[in-house]
Amino acid sequence: MKTAIFSTKYYEREYMDKANAATGHELTYFEIPLNIDTAVNATGFEAICIQLGDRIDKATITQLSAAGVRLIALRSAGFDNVDIEAAAQHNITVVRVPAYSPQAIAEHAVALILTLDRKTHKAYNRVRENNFSLHGLLGFNLFGKTVGVVGTGKIGRAFCSIMLGFGCRVIAYDIKESEEMKNKGIVYESLDYLLQNSDIISIHCPLNAGSRHLFDAGAFSRMKAGAMLINTSRGALLNTTDAIEALKKKQLGYLGMDVYEGEESLFFKDLSESVVQDDTIERLMSFNNVLITPHQAFFTIEALEQIAKITIGNFTAFENSEPLPNEVLL
């Protein structure tokens, strides 16, 4: 199948070509993102393959449909950047990679927790300058702490298992409770209870109308003073301006984020020679108890292999009119 792959990153091609070796789809790689301005490049392709940074709104869908596109394949789990309703109206099928390596994201959330807690990033830099002082490096034991998990889907469940291994008390909030997690000893509570009782909160629910800015001034005020919040899910799950106020008041004790509302103009780019225009992220970076990583939680060898394998499988299933288990339905 003739497929245009947009927003191709330097690290992706090797994995896609390897996964495609036995199948032989005709893949054309574009580094540019797909949006209304670049949609003309999709002309002549039956399928397009995109990333989260691509903006597939109603107008772009109309243009893609006119260009002959019949399949939109996301190389991600999230699909909040695609107007699914508009795609359905134009009879364009949308598929995604629902799970490629939940452990990759769960383990990164743990990396953020441990770094913020034990301050290994500070020690690394300090020791290299022959400063062996312990000043400012005091941490706390994870053992025995209460960890609140918002969203116990694939990633949340992997995260819960790791935190149980640390000897934490793990409580969770989800609109749909998991029997598997209950059997493992996870106790489901209301969001309010979770906010009030957790020493560490990790967000693993998707961004949707019900979860946008779930963590706002009201939520921060109900959290334990000095608690840690980790967001590896989607930036807009928290209101960043409110988070900054909570950090200034020391209500929020630590903030670890792999995602940021407005990350599209920053993440995956080297802006070290530029003047960053986003004052909010600059303010966030001024706090020594904030740790930001550039949406790298998924970035493991195992995850890249799985993303490529499942994406190629999605192309093949669509081309052969086979059932599409990874279809995004309205």
323 touches ligand NAD (CB under 6 A): no
* Binding-site member from 36, 99, 123, 162 for ligand NAD (CB under 6 A): 99
Closer residue to ligand NAD in complex, CB, 93/101: 101
Number of residues that bind ligand NAD (CB under 6 A): 31
Exactly one of 295, 302, 322, 327 is catalytic; which is it?
A: 295
* Binding-site member from 8, 63, 202, 232 for ligand NAD (CB under 6 A): 232
Other CB atoms closer than 10 Å to residue 80's CB: what's the count? 14
Exactly one of 55, 96, 157, 234 is catalytic; which is it?
A: 234
Span from 140-148, 169-177, 192-200, 317-325 in contact with ligand NAD (CB under 6 A) = 169-177
53 touches ligand NAD (CB under 6 A): no
Q: Are 103 and 81 in contact (CB under 8 A)?
A: no
SS3 string, the chain, reads: CEEEECCCCCCCHHHHHHHHCCCCCEEEECCCCCCCCCHHHHCCCCEEEECCCCCECHHHHHHHHHCCCCEEEECCCCCCCECHHHHHHCCCEEECCCCCCHHHHHHHHHHHHHHHHHCHHHHHHHHHCCCCCCCCCCCCCCCCCEEEEECCCHHHHHHHHHHHHCCCEEEEECCCCCHHHHHCCCEECCHHHHHHHCCEEEECCCCCCCCCCCECHHHHHHCCCCEEEEECCCHHHECHHHHHHHHHCCCEEEEEECCCCCHHHCCCCCCCCCCCCCHHHHHHHCCCCEEECCCCCCCCHHHHHHHHHHHHHHHHHHHCCCCCCCECCC
Closer residue to ligand NAD in complex, CB, 254/267: 267
In angstroms, the CA 98 to CA 153 distance is 11
Q: Has 263 been annotated as catalytic?
A: yes
- When CB distances to ligand NAD are compared, the closest residue is 153
233 touches ligand NAD (CB under 6 A): yes
Name the token pair of 67: 């260009």
Closer residue to ligand NAD in complex, CB, 45/254: 254
Name the token pair of 258: 């792999």
Other CB atoms closer than 10 Å to residue 222's CB: what's the count? 14
How do strand 93-95 and strand 71-74 relate by DSSP bridges? Answer: parallel
* Binding-site member from 72, 154, 236, 326 for ligand NAD (CB under 6 A): 154
298 touches ligand NAD (CB under 6 A): yes
Place of tokens 């597939």: 56
- Least distance in angstroms from the C-beta of 205 to ligand NAD: 3
153 touches ligand NAD (CB under 6 A): yes
Closer residue to ligand NAD in complex, CB, 92/259: 259
217 touches ligand NAD (CB under 6 A): no
Q: Has 234 been annotated as catalytic?
A: yes
- Least distance in angstroms from the C-beta of 248 to ligand NAD: 26
Closer residue to ligand NAD in complex, CB, 45/220: 220
* Binding-site member from 50, 86, 150, 307 for ligand NAD (CB under 6 A): 150
Span from 23-31, 99-107, 245-253, 306-314 in contact with ligand NAD (CB under 6 A) = 99-107
Closer residue to ligand NAD in complex, CB, 42/195: 195
78 touches ligand NAD (CB under 6 A): yes
Name the token pair of 115: 């770094």
Which residues between 243 and 272 bind ligand NAD (CB under 6 A)? Answer: 258-259
Interface residues with ligand NAD (CB under 6 A)?
77-78, 99, 102, 105, 150-156, 173-176, 204-208, 210-211, 232-234, 258-259, 295, 297-298
Which sequence positions are flagged as catalytic? 234, 263, 295
